[in-house]
């Protein structure tokens, strides 16, 4: 999996709503907030199934109603299309 | 929910296997490792159900096959029996 080129970053990253660059541009991050833990973990269960299906897994944490997700592609040592695609799928939940 | 007294800490905390003190003694923490993401998230789903039932929720993160759990009782500004009991239930999984 290739790391995104500058042109690809400029094309795809601005289209991701609410995702911010993290780790000096090597990752993207978004925090989701829900009404309660059931809302947060229900969301995590759906993300987990998407991630396993895509064989691309988030680095994430949860505190009660908040879910903090970071996406990066270790094999690419930065961002790849797998991150963009997983972010889009998560947002589509 | 009352914070554990020194006597209660001395009685209960040493019995928790693999849980270390964190946040200057205000929390306990344990890292679980599984074969893969399915193992890790399957465990998290079981913990989530226990936590919701106990109305006491972990602060936790997951990266692929690892699950890092911190327990503390905000209302007690430290550790309470709810943390001890949830840690025991998690270990019983």
Per-residue pLDDT reduced to its tens digit, A45-65: 999 999 999 999 999 999 999
Alpha-carbon gap, residue A75 to A15, rounded angstroms: 23
In this predicted complex, what is the ipTM? 0.95
pLDDT exceeds 80 at position B53: yes
Residue A1 has what pLDDT?
Answer: 76
What's the pLDDT tens digit per position in A20-47? 999 999 999 999 999 999 999 999 999 9
Q: Whole-prediction pTM value? A: 0.96
Across the interface, whether the CB atoms of A61 and B59 are under 8 A apart is answered yes
Q: Which residues of B touch A60 (CB under 8 A)?
A: 61-62
> How far A90 CA lies from chain B's nearest CA (Å)?
17
- Using an 8 Å CB-CB cutoff, list chain A residues near B51: 37
Q: Is the Cβ pair B38, A57 closer than 8 Å?
A: no
Confidence bin at B1 (pLDDT 50/70/90): confident
Which whole number is the average pLDDT over B29-38?
A: 98
SS (H, E, C) chain B: CCECCHHHHHHHHHHCCCCEEEHHHCEEEEEEECCCHHHHHHHHHHHHHHHHHHCCCCEEEEECCEEEEEECEHHHCECEHHHHHHHHHHHHC
């Amino acid at each position: 999996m290739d790391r995104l080129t500058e042109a690809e970053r400029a094309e795809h990253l601005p289209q991701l709503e609410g995702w911010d660059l993290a780790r000096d541009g090597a990752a993207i991050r978004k925090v989701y907030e829900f009404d309660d833990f059931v809302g947060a973990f229900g969301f995590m269960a759906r993300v987990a199934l998407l991630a396993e299906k895509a064989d691309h897994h988030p680095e994430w944490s949860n505190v009660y109603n908040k879910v903090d997700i970071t996406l990066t592609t270790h094999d690419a040592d930065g961002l790849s299309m797998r991150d963009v695609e997983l972010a889009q799928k998560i947002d589509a939940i």
